[in-house]
Each structure stands twice: as structure tokens, then as C-alpha cells.
Amino acid sequence: MPMHRGQEGIRLLFEAYLYAMELGCDIWDFAVEIEYLHKAGCTGSEFRWLMCKGFVDHAIESTLPDAPKRTFRRRQGLGGWTFSRKTCFVLTEAGLAFAREAMGDLLHLSDAQLQTVKRVHRASAAIERKPRWDYQRQELRLADAIVKQFKVPASNQERILAAFEEEGWPVRIDDPLPPNAEQNPKRRLHDTINSLNRNQKQHLIRFTGDGSGQGIRWELVVDDDG
């Protein structure tokens, strides 16, 4: 890659990686918008070169106004080679090594910092794996693993899983449970979240409230020891 053109863009991606690392955030929280990379001198060909080398990952930002967290969606097929004004980029772990080699001491990391970066990257990569709710089989799956299987009806849990499935498994959804005059909605949602977390065949997914009592989040159970 002609570093005299793309050097400033690599620096922006590297700094974003560091911010995520220092705060213990998902690296996508600091994904760099394409317009800033263009202003830094990066071209479409350079983006594609970085992608082919496995040095960057990209997705289209779909964050709604006032959303508590940034969200992204991926294009499928040939769309993965094209970019929109909402496309954002992050360095991969291989990209971090490339940046350090290409820019030398300008992008120095200690061994301790590098280990933290790798942990942040593993957690971020795990988030890209999404569950699947199979209504016909009454199964919640993650790839080939069955996380939860319902032998008897559990309407509230099933409604939440169906809502996540319908919306493509965003990080958060609003409480999809219909009003019930005999139940406190926040308490009902809290109890349903606890039920979703219980009796998992493989404890791979954790459901949580969003802090308002009006929404629900999901996350993968990430092993920090690996």
C-alpha cells in the first residue's frame, strides 16, 4: 500500500483502536467514518486493498438518533466491495500488526497494551456472530450450537426471541411484550430476561435489561482467558 497516501488514515484507525482499548469498549464504538478517512487521503482502492489483506473490517452504521450505542449492519455479496457515506472502518488484529510495521515507532505499543488490544478485538469479533431463533423447532441457536430449546410454551420468552429475529438481532430492542393490566411491565420484562438466561443448554448468550426497564439487550458470553 502506498503509505505516503494512506498513512494518516492508518493513524486515525490506530488511534480509534487505542481509544476502545483504553476504555474497555467494543472497538465498533470507535469505528471511523469513511468521510474522515477520505479527508485523510484514503481512496476506494486503498480501502479494498486493506480489506483483501484482512487489515480492516467495515460495516454500515445504522445507529438511530438518541440510541445508547452505535449499531452497524453488513452488506452481503458484491455489496461488501462498495461503500456508502455511512460506511465505517475498524482495524483488525492483523491490521494493527501491519500499522505497527508500516509506521514503525510512530505507532508503538507495549506488550501489555498489545494483550489488551487483543482482548478487545476478540470481544468485538464475537459480537459479529449473531444468534438465530428457529420458531418451527423452538430453538435458539448460535451457529451449530443449541443454546436453548423450549419443550413447553413460554410465550413471553418466545416473543422476545421472535422480535430479535425479526429485527436482525440488533444490540438492543424495545420491550415487545403486549400490555397486561395485571402485571407491572418492568417487573415482567425483568423476570422474562432472567428466564431467558436460565436453563441454557450451552451458556453462550446473556440477556440483560437496558437500565430503563423498557428495553432488552443481548451479548455473547466471551471467554477472557483465551
Domain match, 150 and 164 both = yes
- Counted residue by residue, the chain has a size of 226
Domain match, 109 and 195 both = no
- Taking the whole predicted model, whether its pTM rises above 0.75 is answered as no
Domain match, 94 and 146 both = no
Distance CA 59, CA 54 (A): 14
Q: What percent of the chain is modeled with pLDDT above 90? A: 34
Q: What percent of the chain is modeled with pLDDT above 70? A: 79
- Assess if residue 226 is contained within a domain: no
Range of the domain at 153: 132-220
Domain match, 14 and 121 both = yes
How confident is the model over 157-180, as pLDDT tens digits? 999 999 999 998 988 999 999 988
Distance CA 123, CA 180 (A): 37
Distance CA 207, CA 191 (A): 11
- Assess if residue 225 is contained within a domain: no
Highest mean pLDDT among 27-36, 66-75, 113-122, 151-160: 151-160
Domain match, 143 and 216 both = yes
Domain match, 149 and 121 both = no
- Assess if residue 148 is contained within a domain: yes
- Assess if residue 121 is contained within a domain: yes
pLDDT given at position 162: 95
Beta strand segments in 26-108, E: 32-33, 56-61, 72-73, 87-91
Domain match, 73 and 169 both = no
What pLDDT band is residue 80 in, cutting at 50, 70 and 90?
Answer: low
Out of 70, 105, 127, a domain closes at 127
Beta strand segments in 163-211, E: 172-174, 205-209
Domain match, 163 and 80 both = no
Question: What mean pLDDT, rounded, does the chain reach?
Answer: 81
What pLDDT band is residue 114 in, cutting at 50, 70 and 90?
Answer: low
Number of domains forming the structure of the chain: 2
